[in-house]
Amino acid sequence: MPVLEACVFATVLCGFFGIILKKNLIMKILSMDVMSTGVIAYYILVAARGGFFTPIDAAENDLVAYADPVPQAVILTAIVIGFSIQALMLVGVMKLSKNNPMLDCRAIEISNTEERKS
């Protein structure tokens, strides 16, 4: 289990450093997706416990421990929100690529500050 936690933490760190260090906007978006995947994987790792049954599998008269459906709903919501944010960012990058085809953050900042000065 500690090895798996270390791998998930390394995934989050790779995504975080990708957001900070990469200058291309597409790479920043992909790094954000990697970090989001790591956070979701960590949440699943923490919430996973053995010995629990889904309410569908257990018989009605058995006294068994049921799995909590709230973490599953939270993770599904996080996946959907992450996908929609990623799609929105990609649309914004498509609009930016018309004026700045290289999608370099520094070049975009320079061109925007020059436009505001004039």
Where b means 16+ CB within 10 Å and e means fewer, 43-73 reads: eeeeeeeeeeeeeeeeeeeeeeeebeeeeee
Q: What angle do CA 118, 97, 106 make, to 5 degrees?
A: 60
For residue 42, count other CB atoms closer than 10 A to its CB: 16
Mean pLDDT of 73-89: 95
- What sections of the chain are H helices per DSSP? 2-21, 25-47, 70-97, 105-117
State pTM to two decimals. Answer: 0.82
In contact, 19 and 31? CB cutoff 8 Å: yes
Span 6-33, pLDDT tens digits: 999 999 999 999 999 999 999 999 999 9
- Based on the structure, what is the number of domains in the chain? 1
- Structural domain containing residue 91: 2-117
Whether 116 has a pLDDT exceeding 70, the answer reads yes
CATH code (residue 76): 1.10.287.3510
